[in-house]
Amino acid sequence: MPESRHTSAFHVPPVGFGPDGSVRFDGQEAAHITRVLRLPPGAMVEVLDGEGGIYEVRLESGGRRLAGRVTGSRKERRSVPPISVALAVGRKERLRAAVEKLAELGCHRIWPLACEHIQFKSSLAGQVGKLQAAAVSALKQSRQPYLTRIEQPLTLATLLAGADSDKIRPVICHPVGEGAVVQPAWGAAAENDAQYVLVVGPEGGFSGRELELIDRRSDSRLELGRCWLRSETAAVAGFTVLADRLWAVARFHGG
Protein backbone atom coordinates (compact mmCIF):
# COMPACT_ATOMS: atom_id res chain seq x y z
CA MET A 1 0.00 0.00 0.00
CA PRO A 2 1.57 3.37 -0.98
CA GLU A 3 2.53 5.77 1.79
CA SER A 4 0.29 8.82 2.25
CA ARG A 5 1.53 12.24 3.31
CA HIS A 6 -0.41 14.27 5.86
CA THR A 7 -1.88 17.50 4.51
CA SER A 8 -0.38 19.71 7.26
CA ALA A 9 3.12 21.14 7.00
CA PHE A 10 5.45 21.43 10.00
CA HIS A 11 8.36 23.69 10.88
CA VAL A 12 11.74 22.45 12.08
CA PRO A 13 14.64 24.96 12.02
CA PRO A 14 17.94 23.84 10.44
CA VAL A 15 19.39 22.99 13.86
CA GLY A 16 16.81 20.21 14.13
CA PHE A 17 18.26 18.29 11.17
CA GLY A 18 21.10 15.84 11.76
CA PRO A 19 23.88 15.05 9.25
CA ASP A 20 22.56 11.48 9.02
CA GLY A 21 19.14 12.62 7.75
CA SER A 22 17.45 12.50 11.13
CA VAL A 23 14.91 15.15 12.17
CA ARG A 24 14.07 16.20 15.73
CA PHE A 25 10.71 17.87 16.34
CA ASP A 26 10.45 20.34 19.23
CA GLY A 27 7.89 19.98 22.01
CA GLN A 28 5.16 22.06 20.39
CA GLU A 29 5.36 20.39 16.99
CA ALA A 30 5.74 16.95 18.57
CA ALA A 31 2.64 17.51 20.70
CA HIS A 32 0.63 18.64 17.68
CA ILE A 33 1.69 15.62 15.63
CA THR A 34 1.21 12.98 18.31
CA ARG A 35 -1.57 14.32 20.55
CA VAL A 36 -3.70 16.43 18.21
CA LEU A 37 -3.25 14.71 14.84
CA ARG A 38 -2.32 11.33 16.37
CA LEU A 39 -0.02 10.44 13.50
CA PRO A 40 1.62 7.03 13.96
CA PRO A 41 5.24 6.04 13.25
CA GLY A 42 5.64 5.53 9.51
CA ALA A 43 3.40 8.47 8.58
CA MET A 44 4.83 10.87 6.00
CA VAL A 45 4.85 14.61 6.70
CA GLU A 46 6.14 17.72 4.95
CA VAL A 47 8.67 19.74 6.94
CA LEU A 48 9.84 23.31 6.23
CA ASP A 49 13.11 24.59 7.71
CA GLY A 50 12.32 28.28 7.06
CA GLU A 51 15.50 28.65 5.00
CA GLY A 52 14.16 27.37 1.69
CA GLY A 53 14.41 23.66 2.49
CA ILE A 54 11.33 21.48 1.96
CA TYR A 55 11.56 17.89 3.22
CA GLU A 56 9.57 14.69 3.02
CA VAL A 57 9.94 13.06 6.45
CA ARG A 58 8.87 9.65 7.73
CA LEU A 59 7.98 9.65 11.43
CA GLU A 60 9.99 7.08 13.39
CA SER A 61 9.13 7.53 17.05
CA GLY A 62 6.51 9.29 19.11
CA GLY A 63 6.17 11.05 22.44
CA ARG A 64 8.03 14.11 23.60
CA ARG A 65 11.16 13.09 21.67
CA LEU A 66 9.46 12.76 18.31
CA ALA A 67 11.94 12.04 15.53
CA GLY A 68 11.81 11.29 11.84
CA ARG A 69 13.93 10.48 8.81
CA VAL A 70 14.30 12.55 5.64
CA THR A 71 13.28 10.58 2.55
CA GLY A 72 13.43 13.43 0.05
CA SER A 73 14.12 17.15 -0.14
CA ARG A 74 14.38 20.17 -2.37
CA LYS A 75 15.61 23.74 -2.02
CA GLU A 76 13.52 26.70 -3.13
CA ARG A 77 15.14 29.94 -4.23
CA ARG A 78 14.23 33.12 -2.42
CA SER A 79 12.31 35.72 -4.40
CA VAL A 80 14.62 38.60 -5.23
CA PRO A 81 14.97 41.36 -4.41
CA PRO A 82 13.82 40.68 -0.83
CA ILE A 83 10.98 42.93 0.33
CA SER A 84 10.49 43.79 4.00
CA VAL A 85 7.95 45.96 5.81
CA ALA A 86 8.27 48.52 8.60
CA LEU A 87 4.78 48.89 10.00
CA ALA A 88 3.23 51.24 12.57
CA VAL A 89 0.17 49.53 14.05
CA GLY A 90 -0.90 50.33 17.59
CA ARG A 91 -3.35 47.55 18.43
CA LYS A 92 -1.75 44.20 19.13
CA GLU A 93 -4.40 42.07 17.46
CA ARG A 94 -4.21 44.11 14.26
CA LEU A 95 -0.41 43.98 14.19
CA ARG A 96 -0.60 40.21 14.55
CA ALA A 97 -3.10 40.00 11.68
CA ALA A 98 -0.77 42.06 9.49
CA VAL A 99 2.18 39.81 10.34
CA GLU A 100 0.17 36.70 9.45
CA LYS A 101 -0.85 38.04 6.03
CA LEU A 102 2.56 39.49 5.17
CA ALA A 103 4.24 36.21 6.14
CA GLU A 104 1.85 34.28 3.90
CA LEU A 105 2.78 36.58 1.01
CA GLY A 106 6.52 36.03 1.43
CA CYS A 107 7.65 39.15 3.31
CA HIS A 108 11.36 38.94 4.18
CA ARG A 109 11.44 40.83 7.48
CA ILE A 110 9.00 42.92 9.54
CA TRP A 111 9.90 45.79 11.84
CA PRO A 112 7.25 47.13 14.22
CA LEU A 113 7.62 50.87 13.64
CA ALA A 114 7.40 53.21 16.64
CA CYS A 115 5.98 56.52 15.44
CA GLU A 116 4.77 59.59 17.33
CA HIS A 117 1.11 58.99 16.41
CA ILE A 118 0.84 55.42 17.67
CA GLN A 119 -0.63 53.73 20.71
CA PHE A 120 1.00 51.04 22.88
CA LYS A 121 4.55 52.01 21.87
CA SER A 122 5.95 50.76 25.17
CA SER A 123 4.57 47.26 24.62
CA LEU A 124 5.98 46.68 21.13
CA ALA A 125 9.23 45.03 22.24
CA GLY A 126 7.34 42.50 24.32
CA GLN A 127 5.31 41.42 21.30
CA VAL A 128 8.22 40.24 19.13
CA GLY A 129 8.19 36.63 20.36
CA LYS A 130 4.43 36.30 19.89
CA LEU A 131 4.62 37.87 16.44
CA GLN A 132 7.41 35.46 15.44
CA ALA A 133 5.18 32.56 16.50
CA ALA A 134 2.44 34.00 14.28
CA ALA A 135 4.91 34.12 11.38
CA VAL A 136 5.81 30.45 11.94
CA SER A 137 2.12 29.54 11.87
CA ALA A 138 1.69 31.47 8.61
CA LEU A 139 4.74 29.68 7.15
CA LYS A 140 3.15 26.29 7.79
CA GLN A 141 -0.30 27.36 6.60
CA SER A 142 0.90 28.90 3.35
CA ARG A 143 3.88 26.56 2.82
CA GLN A 144 6.17 29.52 2.23
CA PRO A 145 9.71 28.12 2.01
CA TYR A 146 11.28 31.08 3.87
CA LEU A 147 10.33 32.20 7.36
CA THR A 148 9.49 35.87 7.86
CA ARG A 149 11.78 37.29 10.55
CA ILE A 150 10.30 39.66 13.13
CA GLU A 151 12.81 42.31 14.20
CA GLN A 152 12.95 44.51 17.27
CA PRO A 153 10.90 47.73 17.06
CA LEU A 154 12.63 50.85 15.78
CA THR A 155 11.83 54.46 15.00
CA LEU A 156 11.48 55.97 11.56
CA ALA A 157 14.68 57.97 12.07
CA THR A 158 16.64 54.82 12.97
CA LEU A 159 15.27 52.92 9.98
CA LEU A 160 16.15 55.67 7.51
CA ALA A 161 19.60 56.15 9.02
CA GLY A 162 20.24 52.43 8.59
CA ALA A 163 19.15 52.66 4.97
CA ASP A 164 21.99 55.10 4.37
CA SER A 165 24.61 52.74 5.78
CA ASP A 166 23.22 49.44 4.42
CA LYS A 167 21.95 48.60 0.96
CA ILE A 168 18.31 49.22 1.90
CA ARG A 169 15.84 50.96 -0.38
CA PRO A 170 12.94 52.49 1.58
CA VAL A 171 9.62 52.84 -0.20
CA ILE A 172 7.40 55.25 1.74
CA CYS A 173 3.69 54.48 1.64
CA HIS A 174 2.51 58.08 1.75
CA PRO A 175 0.91 60.57 -0.68
CA VAL A 176 3.27 62.73 -2.67
CA GLY A 177 3.04 66.52 -2.64
CA GLU A 178 2.50 68.56 -5.77
CA GLY A 179 5.49 68.76 -8.05
CA ALA A 180 7.18 65.71 -6.49
CA VAL A 181 8.05 62.55 -8.36
CA VAL A 182 5.50 59.87 -7.51
CA GLN A 183 7.95 57.00 -7.89
CA PRO A 184 11.05 56.10 -9.89
CA ALA A 185 11.06 53.86 -12.91
CA TRP A 186 10.71 50.54 -11.09
CA GLY A 187 12.41 48.62 -13.87
CA ALA A 188 15.56 50.65 -13.37
CA ALA A 189 15.24 50.72 -9.59
CA ALA A 190 14.99 46.99 -8.93
CA GLU A 191 18.31 45.69 -7.62
CA ASN A 192 18.52 42.03 -6.71
CA ASP A 193 21.33 42.67 -4.22
CA ALA A 194 19.37 45.39 -2.40
CA GLN A 195 16.61 45.03 0.15
CA TYR A 196 13.41 47.02 -0.29
CA VAL A 197 11.50 48.12 2.80
CA LEU A 198 7.91 49.30 2.54
CA VAL A 199 7.40 51.92 5.26
CA VAL A 200 3.79 52.21 6.48
CA GLY A 201 2.88 54.85 9.04
CA PRO A 202 0.01 54.91 11.56
CA GLU A 203 -3.60 55.64 10.65
CA GLY A 204 -3.22 59.15 12.02
CA GLY A 205 -0.38 59.74 9.59
CA PHE A 206 3.24 60.59 10.22
CA SER A 207 3.90 63.50 12.57
CA GLY A 208 5.16 66.84 11.31
CA ARG A 209 8.70 66.02 12.36
CA GLU A 210 8.55 62.61 10.71
CA LEU A 211 7.24 64.16 7.47
CA GLU A 212 10.10 66.66 7.52
CA LEU A 213 12.52 63.75 7.81
CA ILE A 214 10.83 61.96 4.88
CA ASP A 215 10.70 65.10 2.71
CA ARG A 216 14.43 65.73 3.16
CA ARG A 217 15.12 62.42 1.42
CA SER A 218 14.58 61.16 -2.11
CA ASP A 219 13.16 57.77 -1.22
CA SER A 220 10.55 56.21 -3.47
CA ARG A 221 6.88 56.77 -2.68
CA LEU A 222 3.95 54.42 -3.17
CA GLU A 223 0.35 55.65 -3.31
CA LEU A 224 -2.57 53.27 -2.86
CA GLY A 225 -5.46 55.34 -4.13
CA ARG A 226 -7.68 58.01 -2.65
CA CYS A 227 -9.01 56.09 0.38
CA TRP A 228 -7.41 56.44 3.84
CA LEU A 229 -6.57 52.83 4.68
CA ARG A 230 -5.90 51.24 8.03
CA SER A 231 -2.21 50.60 8.50
CA GLU A 232 -2.45 46.82 8.29
CA THR A 233 -4.56 47.06 5.12
CA ALA A 234 -2.07 49.47 3.55
CA ALA A 235 0.80 47.14 4.48
CA VAL A 236 -0.74 44.10 2.81
CA ALA A 237 -1.94 46.03 -0.26
CA GLY A 238 1.33 47.93 -0.58
CA PHE A 239 3.42 44.77 -0.25
CA THR A 240 1.36 43.08 -2.96
CA VAL A 241 1.79 46.01 -5.36
CA LEU A 242 5.51 46.34 -4.64
CA ALA A 243 6.11 42.60 -4.97
CA ASP A 244 4.29 42.52 -8.29
CA ARG A 245 6.48 45.31 -9.65
CA LEU A 246 9.85 44.30 -8.25
CA TRP A 247 9.57 40.54 -8.54
CA ALA A 248 8.14 40.80 -12.05
CA VAL A 249 11.14 42.91 -13.03
CA ALA A 250 13.52 40.36 -11.50
CA ARG A 251 11.82 37.52 -13.39
CA PHE A 252 11.94 39.48 -16.63
CA HIS A 253 15.68 40.04 -16.24
CA GLY A 254 16.29 36.47 -15.23
CA GLY A 255 16.89 37.17 -11.52
pLDDT number for residue 253: 44
Asked whether 11 and 47 are in contact (CB, 8 A), the reply is: yes
- Residue 7: Cβ-neighbour burial (10 angstroms; 0-12, 13-18, 19+): exposed
Start-end of CATH 3.40.1280.10 domains in the chain: 83-252
CATH class for domain 83-252?
alpha beta
Q: Where in the chain is the domain with CATH 2.40.240.20?
A: 5-75
pLDDT tens, N- to C-terminus, the chain (255 residues): 345 555 779 999 999 999 999 999 988 899 999 889 999 999 999 999 999 999 999 999 765 689 999 999 999 999 888 999 999 987 888 999 999 999 999 999 999 998 888 766 557 777 899 999 999 999 999 999 999 999 999 999 999 988 877 788 899 987 665 444 444 444 445 566 788 999 999 888 889 999 999 988 888 888 887 788 889 999 999 999 999 988 875 554 444
Identify the CATH assignment for 5-75 out of 2.40.240.20, 3.30.420.10, 2.60.120.340, 2.60.40.650.
2.40.240.20
Nearest CA to 9 out of 104, 137, 140, 134 is that of 140
- The answer to whether 174 and 221 have CB atoms below 8 angstroms apart is yes
Q: What is the per-residue pLDDT for 167?
A: 80
CB count in 10 Å sphere of residue 99: 29
CA 190 to chain centre: 19
Distance, first Cα to last Cα, the chain: 42
pLDDT computed for residue 53 by the predictor: 97
pLDDT confidence of residue 138: 96
Q: Which residues contact 47 (CB under 8 A, 6 or more apart)?
A: 9, 10, 11, 12, 23, 54, 55, 56, 57, 68
Q: What is the SS3 assignment for 186?
A: helix
